Structures are given as C-alpha cells and as structure tokens.
Amino acid sequence: MPDIPKNALTRGVRIATLPASYAGRTAWGFGKKIGGRPAEAVTAEIQQRTAEQIFSVLGELKGGAMKLGQAMSIFEAALPEEVAGPYRATLTKLQDAAPSMPASTVHEILADSLGADWRDRFAEFDDQPAGAASIGQVHKAVWHDGRTVAVKVQYPGADKALMADLNQMSRMGKLFASWVPGLDIKALVEELKERVIEELDYLGESQYQRQFAVAFEGDPEFLVPHVLAAAPHVLVSEWVDGRPMSDIIANGTQEERDRVGLLYERFLLSGPERAGLLHADPHPGNYRLTPDGKLCVFDFGAVAVLPDGLPPAMGSLLRIAKSGDAETVVAGLREEGFVLPHVDVDPEQLLEYLDPFVEPARHEYFHFSREWLRGQFTRLNDVRNPDFAVGLKINLPPSYALIHRVWLGSIGVLCQLEATVPVRGELDRWVPEFREPVTAAD
C-alpha cells in the first residue's frame, strides 16, 4: 500500500470524489427507479455504496479526514434509523481501524525517533499493526525487559495531511453535514483544527498519560497504561488486552452495557478531580474492558487541563436547571459567557434547549437510548421549533469548548451503549456544586 498522500492537492482531489461519486450514484438510482425497481431498495443500495466509499477514502487518507470521521461517529446514535442503518457499520470501523503503513516506513520512523539501534530496545517487534487510527498506528512488541508493549507510530506527513484535510472539509461543510443532519460540521472542523498541534505532539501526550496513570494507579475500576518511552512521533506504553467498547455496543448484554456505561461516565467525570485533567476524546475506540473488569483508557492526545477540577458554575447551573429555575440559569449562563450581554433569550425556551444535558441529571438512574437522543436531536434542529432559534443565540466560551465536546460526545456514546446509568449519584460525587446545599433543617 502506498504511503499516506501528503500533497494538499492530491488529498483534496480524493476528498472531492465523495460529492461527485454521490451525485453519480444518485443519477444511477434515479435510472433504476424509472426502470421499475422499488424506491426503498434503490435508496438502500445507494446509501450502502456511499458508506463503503466514505470508509475507503477517509481510511486511506487518514489525517483530518479520518479524524472527522471518528468525531462524527460519536453522534451516530442521533441519526434516524433509515439514515443510520447503512452508515453504522462504516462509522464503527472508523473508530477502530484504518489501512496500515508498510513495515519499511514504520522502521524509518522508529530509527529517526529512537535511534539507529532501535531494535535493541525490543526483544520482539511485530511489523503487522495491531490497530490504526487517524494520525498513527499501534504495533505490539516486547520491551527489552520482557514487558509486552504498545508502540504508537505517527504517520509521516500527518501534520500537513491534517491541516490540508480540515481546510478542504471546512469548505465542503454542507456535504459532510449531510451525513449527520443538524450537526454543525463547520464548528466541529474548526475545533479539530485548534487541537491538531496538541494531538500531533506525542511527547506532550506522554506527559498527560503519565499524569493519568499516576492518578489512577492501583484503582479497582480503571487502568491507564504506563509510558515507557516517548519521542515526538513514537510513544511506547504498556500493552493491555481487552474487549473494545465498540464490541460491547454491538454485542454486549444489558448488564455489560450498564457496567461499561457507568465506568465510562465515572472516568470522564472523575478525571478533573483526581488528575487535574479531562480526557477529551470520548469516542469508543479509546476504551476497552479488561478481562478482570476494569475500563482501560487509551489515547491522551486531546486533554483539557483543569488543575482546579471542573468549573464550579457547571455543577451549580446544572443543579439549578434541574430544579426548573430558568431565570437563574440564564443569569448564570450570562455570567459564564454562554449568553452575551446584548443577546435576549427567553428563559423557558433556553431551559428546554438544554434538556439533553439536564434531563439525565433529574433521575437517579437514566436510560440513555438512541430513541431518546434522536428525539432530542430532531427537536433541536427543527427550524419550526422555537428551540432552534435559541441554539443560534448560545455562545461557547473557549474555556468550556473541550468540556462541551466531552459532555455532548459522552451522551452520544452512552446512547450507543443503550446504558442505564446512576447519573445523579455520579454528578453528586464528582461535579462540584451539583449536590444540593445542606440546610439547617438537614
């Protein structure tokens, strides 16, 4: 297989084949309908062919195209079933796999990063990758001291590829938005562009991973692999076997879904308090369930640094919203910068707009489901609904950008899991100011 295409023009042409091919398939489908084939069958076949091409193009290009595909896969649960069906398998593949680099390229990167004698660091090294993602792939190896390790190797030219893809996709927002109707693709692309530099820096990622690993060392519920060596384009950490979350989403029992859903939410909420960090890449490919029942967490390239934990206003506003005090919620959101001073907004409509975040917090146990999320997504993106106009008035302060990404993304993943989670108890435990204040009567 050839190396990842680095030239912006070459990559742009490949991405541009998506709308052109889709137009061709649509014309082909129209001819089939005229020829007498049922419209539903033709539409399903068009969607299936489109899904296959999307994975092929994004998977081969990797870079920003693959990164966007992974980010979008989190919201698959929000799609109507007739749209989601043909794309679900494709989006799931984007979470865990991509075509791999040739061994010769991997060896060159290892030599550049670890030295010409890089093989002396390993007792064994498997040239066949164990997994691949947007900007790097993972190889299984045995460290010189006998420990099994995961060696993450960054694709050559990943930095240029990422920016070329994201700039191109920013100009093609309408096409990409058609995959997940209602999702603000332009905002998602811009946010991804802001995180590119951090995710390309494996040395920085290694520091975050070490910080998480120390904070969760010996935990009975979570496992963060320790880092053994790091360079700008290579990261070596402990190997952990486990069952991918994507498999539990596809095949898990309800008990398994609920257990993983609880651990997933608990890790995301507890990270800021325990490690001073928020893991900010919530897609299922970064999580596995170990044989002894722990949730193992990977990929610390996207992290929000929160040395003082989650913002106290986040918990207090969620608590107030849960009680239905719309006026106080609006006042608090203005203070935090979510509603700008010159913007007028109806408090009750704003509270309705926040329902996807607030509704789970109202229940001791909440069942996250595709049906619930689709209903919320449809309501918020219906231009005839007053809530749609409210969304246009909301401002997202930079300090909350990653928190919002994780909160929204985690809801999407929990709905894919169809998990029932003790939401209120976890918020009480880990989110400052969410717990009801203690009164003299109490």
What residue ranges define each of the domains in the chain, with the CATH number in brackets?
Answer: 8-97+164-176 (no CATH), 103-158+196-238 (3.30.200.20), 312-430 (no CATH)
Contacts of 219 by beta carbon, 8 Å cutoff, 6+ apart: 294
What is the pLDDT at residue 402?
86
The secondary structure element, H or E, covering residue 229 is: strand 227-231
- Cα distances from 304 to residues 33, 222, 309, 425, in angstroms, run 51, 19, 10, 24
Res 31 pLDDT > 90 = no
- pLDDT-derived band at 32 (thresholds 50, 70, 90) equals very low
- Per the model's pLDDT, the better-predicted residue between 191 and 217 turns out to be 217
Residue 382's pLDDT is 75
435 — pLDDT class (breaks 50, 70, 90): confident
Q: Where is average pLDDT lowest: 157-166, 217-226, 235-244? A: 157-166
The per-residue pLDDT of the chain, averaged, comes to 80
User: What's the pLDDT score for residue 417?
Assistant: 96
Q: How confident is the model at residue 43 (pLDDT cuts 50, 70, 90)?
A: very low
List 48's β-bridge partners, or say none: none
Lowest mean pLDDT among 19-28, 111-120, 353-362, 403-412: 19-28
Q: What is the pLDDT of residue 88?
A: 58
Binned at pLDDT 50, 70 and 90, residue 199 comes out as confident
Residue 398 pLDDT: 81
- pLDDT tier for residue 24 given thresholds of 50, 70 and 90: very low
- pLDDT at site 37: 43
97 or 396: whose pLDDT is higher? 396
The mean pLDDT value for 28-34 works out to: 37
Residue 82 confidence (pLDDT) above 80: no
How many CB atoms lie under 10 A from the CB of residue 177? 16
Query: Residues of the chain with pLDDT > 90: what percent?
Result: 52
Question: Is this structure's pTM higher than 0.85?
Answer: no
Of 385, 439, 374, nearest in space to 77 by CA = 374
- CB proximity list for 287: less than 8 A, separation 6 or greater: 244, 245, 260, 264, 295, 296, 297, 298
pLDDT at 251: 95
180 vs 192: CA distance, rounded Å: 17
Please give the residue that has the higher pLDDT: either 347 or 15: 347
Tell me if residue 154 falls in helix, strand or coil: strand
∠ CA 61-79-389, rounded to 5°: 105
Residue 288: beta bridge partners?
244, 296
